[in-house]
Amino acid sequence: MRDQEQDTELKAIAQHTQNWVERVIMKYNICPFARREVERRSIRYAVIDEAKMHHVLEALITECQHLDAHPEVETTLFIVPRGFEGFYPYLDLVDISNDLLIEQGYEGVYQLASFHPDYCFDGEPMDAPSNYTNRSPYPTMHIIREASMEQALATYDDPESIPERNIEFSQKKGSDFFAKLLSGCMGKKS
């Protein structure tokens, strides 16, 4: 019975994250490249049911190997719901993960983008609306194929303006707006 409950919980976590991608990231064009992959169904939502650093790192390399073997999967959202709820321990995980990708020969192949429920840009107050551009339902590392990203950036006018546009949009909408959106992705009423 516990396995069935656990499986149900992991599926819900993946669904919450997919809701976030569709209802926040894609709908409000936070990432202008997301729509294509959502429509192609080429995003993999991998929920890692581990809380210890070394197990998560092993799973990260396994996920990179999965991407190597499955070119039809464009990108993976690598979701780590347990063990890294604190933002600073999560940043440690991201740093070590980046080092591991280099060590394992994935430099120039994959890069990581990071998202967290408590994401806070350096120098910004915790409640700054701009933090919501990187806030997600769960700690999540986005494994991006570098070649695909280079291609997408080459065809996008003024990619350097994306962060500034997102900051302006988030400040216009405000923290409460984004907090309600995030809560709604998880099926919570606000």
Instruction: Give the model's pLDDT for residue 188.
Output: 67
Instruction: Give the model's pLDDT for residue 67.
Output: 99
Instruction: Give the model's pLDDT for residue 6.
Output: 87
pLDDT 10s digits, 132-151 = 999 999 999 999 999 999 88
Instruction: Give the model's pLDDT for residue 4.
Output: 86
Query: What is the pTM assigned to this prediction?
Result: 0.94
Q: How far is the CA of 123 from the CAs of 80, 119, 120, in angstroms? A: 25, 12, 8
Domain residue ranges of the chain, discontinuous segments joined by +: 2-185
Instruction: Give the model's pLDDT for residue 189.
Output: 52
Q: Which of 83, 139, 85 is nearest to 113 (CA)?
A: 139
Question: Taking the chain (190 residues) in consecutive chunks of 10 residues, what is each chunk's mean pLDDT?
Answer: 83 98 96 93 98 98 99 98 97 99 98 98 96 98 95 84 94 97 82
Burial per residue of 67-103, b for 16 or more beta-carbon CB atoms within 10 angstroms, e otherwise: beeeeebbbbbbbbbebbeebeebbebbeebbeebee
Instruction: Give the model's pLDDT for residue 20.
Output: 98
